[in-house]
């Protein structure tokens, strides 16, 4: 006959057989998916904040990189193709009034990488002399004086002019000391010269110069458009060499050839006295490009961060409302054995899923936007693979951070109170 069990033995065995509830990753994923799909419209609107945030992040970084590359290319194209040469004359203007040889243009244009070259200087006019459209001897005020620049034919080619009317003077005009002039469109309107059909003239003092060309714009030295350009041989025969206003030379080169040309020019001009010239290569705008790129990155990253914060607030707000609405569900799950951390993990998984979904959609839309803008602007799109790979993870992190507080609130709801709601 078996001995009776002591009182309370059955209860202790029951307690020993009771195990804590578990939430497997598979079950967690299923519960989170069910919670997201329970209200699909709300879930889409909630994920929209992350879509906008991550999409803005991708667009901002991608378009900033694309724009920076275009800025870099334009800086290079503008600055790396121009060399200026100053005539110092060894510091003795009386002994060496002009150090440039007669065939200076041809010597420099013979260098490898040079596309055009020409020298120029400002003509020293007598008292009361200036460029006018009539031969009046009435002197003008200093601020109304029009400068006159003596230029070799190669200068106009190096400037890269876009002609509005007529033509530029050439080697023939310079060789025969022709009294011809080329002016800018702004100066032509100021002098009242609107057409070249009547062969208008500009009077420098009492000397007439026939205007043969009106320049609308130039690629280099736009300040010379405010001057009257005349052949340098004509200017030298009428007013002498430059004197204290030393001559200069403008050289246009192929892209990347400017530093080498700058080193070779003094020796090519005067092998006997290269020290008479100061050759200035184009400055390297690396610091300026870096500053521009850095400013763009900081500004746009700030805007992208604001968008991400707005998306995170939207997820947090919607998740918190969902916690309040699903209090009954939370109480039932707690009554069936779910622990607080299970509830917290469920809501964190839902907000993380929304963040990841928004990150994926935002990354795709951002990349497409970069390509569209680049095609419209005829740019080369610059998209970092690392950035594209990290953007969905950024959306995931945003969703997790946004769901921390609502998930914590859900885990803190007492089961009995939740069942009463």
pLDDT for res 152? 94
Q: Does the pLDDT of residue 62 top 50, yes or no?
A: yes
Distances (CA, A) of 296 to 206, 290, 331: 55, 10, 51
Kindly indicate the confidence band of residue 133, based on its pLDDT and cuts at 50, 70 and 90: confident
Distances (CA, A) of 209 to 85, 140, 192: 28, 19, 15
Residues of the chain above pLDDT 70, percent: 78
In angstroms, rounded to a whole number, what is the distance separating the alpha carbons of residues 67 and 374? 9
Cross-strand pairs, 204: 131, 207
CB-based burial of residue 118 (10 Å sphere; 0-12 exposed, 13-18 middle, 19+ buried)?
Answer: buried
Q: Does the pLDDT of residue 249 top 80, yes or no?
A: yes
- Closest by CA position to 402, among listed 150, 132, 54: 54
Q: Does one domain contain both 116 and 228?
A: no
Mean pLDDT of the chain: 79
Q: Is residue 19 part of a domain?
A: no
Q: Does one domain contain both 230 and 110?
A: no
Between these two residues, 412 and 202, which has the higher pLDDT value?
202
Q: Is residue 11 part of a domain?
A: no
pLDDT for res 418? 60
Q: Does one domain contain both 404 and 302?
A: yes
Distances (CA, A) of 269 to 23, 45, 203: 86, 72, 34
pLDDT for res 149? 94
Residues of the chain above pLDDT 90, percent: 25
- Closest by CA position to 243, among listed 153, 117, 150, 152: 150
Q: Does one domain contain both 224 and 105?
A: no
Q: Is residue 10 part of a domain?
A: no
In angstroms, rounded to a whole number, what is the distance separating the alpha carbons of residues 306 and 312? 10
Look at the alpha carbons of 389, 398, 365, 381 in this order and tell me if their dihedral is positive or negative. Answer: negative
pLDDT for res 292? 60
Please give the tally of structural domains in the chain.
3
pLDDT for res 109? 92
Read off the pLDDT of residues 71-96 as tens digits, 9 standing for 90 and up.
665 555 555 788 999 998 766 666 77
Judge if pTM exceeds 0.75.
Answer: no
Q: Does the pLDDT of residue 107 top 80, yes or no?
A: yes
In angstroms, rounded to a whole number, what is the distance separating the alpha carbons of residues 79 and 219? 11
Q: Does one domain contain both 326 and 415?
A: yes
Q: Is residue 9 part of a domain?
A: no
Between these two residues, 10 and 189, which has the higher pLDDT value?
189
pLDDT for res 216? 92
Q: Does one domain contain both 220 and 321?
A: no
Q: Does the pLDDT of residue 20 top 70, yes or no?
A: no
In angstroms, rounded to a whole number, what is the distance separating the alpha carbons of residues 181 and 149? 10
Q: Does one domain contain both 249 and 185?
A: no
Q: Does one domain contain both 39 and 90?
A: no
Q: Is residue 45 part of a domain?
A: yes
- Report how many helices (DSSP H) and strands (DSSP E) the chain contains, helices first: 14, 11
Q: Does one domain contain both 88 and 166?
A: no
Q: Is residue 34 part of a domain?
A: yes
pLDDT for res 220? 87
Domain of 85: which CATH number? 3.30.70.100
Kindly indicate the confidence band of residue 19, based on its pLDDT and cuts at 50, 70 and 90: low
Question: How many of the other CB atoms lie within 10 Å of CB of 398?
Answer: 28
CB 99 within 8 A of CB 273: yes
Q: Does one domain contain both 173 and 188?
A: yes
pLDDT for res 401? 84
Read off the pLDDT of residues 342-393 as tens digits, 9 standing for 90 and up.
888 887 888 888 888 888 888 888 888 888 988 888 877 878 788 788 888 8
Q: Does the pLDDT of residue 210 top 90, yes or no?
A: yes
pLDDT for res 269? 93
pLDDT for res 7? 55
Read off the pLDDT of residues 299-326 as tens digits, 9 standing for 90 and up.
777 777 777 777 677 777 777 777 777 7
Q: Which domain holds residue 145?
A: 140-239
Q: Does one domain contain both 201 and 300?
A: no
Cross-strand pairs, 121: 150
pLDDT for res 143? 40
Between these two residues, 72 and 241, which has the higher pLDDT value?
241
* Lowest-pLDDT choice from 25-39, 118-132, 369-383: 25-39
- Closest by CA position to 246, among listed 83, 105, 87: 87
> Looking at 281, 305, 340, which one is the last position of a domain?
281
Q: Does one domain contain both 396 and 415?
A: yes
- Those residues with Cβ within 8 angstroms of residue 20's Cβ, 6 or more apart along the chain or in another chain: 339
pLDDT for res 117? 94
Q: Does the pLDDT of residue 63 top 80, yes or no?
A: no
- Residue 274 DSSP label: G
**Opening angle at CA 381, ends 380 and 386, nearest 5:** 140
Q: Does the pLDDT of residue 215 top 90, yes or no?
A: yes
Q: Is residue 227 part of a domain?
A: yes
Q: Is residue 335 part of a domain?
A: yes
* Lowest-pLDDT choice from 4-8, 80-84, 410-414: 4-8
In angstroms, rounded to a whole number, what is the distance separating the alpha carbons of residues 4 and 394? 65
Read off the pLDDT of residues 137-163 as tens digits, 9 standing for 90 and up.
444 444 457 889 999 999 999 999 999
């Amino acid at each position: 006959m078996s001995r009776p069990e002591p009182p309370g033995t059955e209860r202790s065995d029951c307690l020993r057989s009771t195990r804590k509830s578990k939430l497997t990753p598979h079950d967690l994923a299923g519960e989170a998916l069910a919670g997201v799909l329970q209200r699909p419209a709300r879930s889409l609107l909630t994920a929209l904040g992350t879509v906008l945030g991550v999409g803005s992040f991708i667009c901002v970084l991608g378009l900033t990189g694309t724009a920076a590359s275009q800025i870099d290319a334009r800086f290079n194209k503008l600055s790396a193709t121009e060399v200026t040469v100053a005539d110092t004359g060894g510091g003795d203007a009386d002994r060496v009034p002009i150090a440039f040889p007669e065939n200076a243009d041809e010597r420099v244009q013979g260098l490898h990488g040079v596309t055009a070259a020409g020298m120029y200087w400002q003509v020293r006019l007598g008292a009361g002399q200036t460029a006018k459209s009539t031969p009046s001897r009435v002197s003008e005020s200093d601020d109304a004086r029009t400068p006159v620049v003596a230029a070799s034919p190669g200068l106009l080619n190096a400037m890269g002019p876009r002609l509005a009317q007529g033509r530029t003077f050439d080697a023939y005009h310079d060789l025969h000391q022709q009294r011809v002039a080329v002016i800018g469109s702004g100066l032509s309107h100021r002098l009242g010269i609107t057409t070249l059909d009547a062969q208008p003239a500009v009077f420098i003092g009492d000397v007439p110069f026939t205007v043969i060309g009106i320049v609308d714009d130039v690629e280099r030295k736009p300040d010379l458009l405010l001057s009257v350009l005349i052949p340098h041989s004509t200017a030298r025969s009428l007013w002498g060499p430059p004197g204290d206003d030393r001559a200069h030379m403008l050289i246009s080169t192929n892209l990347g050839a400017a530093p080498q040309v700058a080193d070779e020019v003094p020796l090519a001009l005067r092998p006997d006295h290269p020290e008479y010239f100061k050759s200035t290569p184009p400055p390297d705008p690396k610091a300026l490009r870096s500053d521009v790129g850095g400013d763009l990155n900081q500004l746009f990253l700030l805007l992208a961060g604001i968008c991400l914060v707005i998306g995170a607030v939207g997820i947090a707000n919607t998740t918190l409302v969902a916690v309040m609405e699903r209090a009954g569900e939370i109480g039932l799950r707690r009554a069936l054995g779910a622990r607080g951390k299970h509830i917290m993990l469920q809501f964190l998984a839902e907000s993380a899923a929304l963040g990841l979904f928004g990150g994926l959609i935002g990354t795709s839309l951002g990349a497409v936007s970069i390509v569209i803008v680049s095609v419209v602007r005829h740019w080369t799109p610059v998209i970092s693979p690392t950035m594209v790979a990290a953007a969905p993870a950024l959306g995931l992190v945003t969703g997790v951070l946004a769901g921390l507080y609502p998930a914590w609130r859900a885990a803190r709801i007492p089961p009995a109170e939740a069942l009463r709601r």
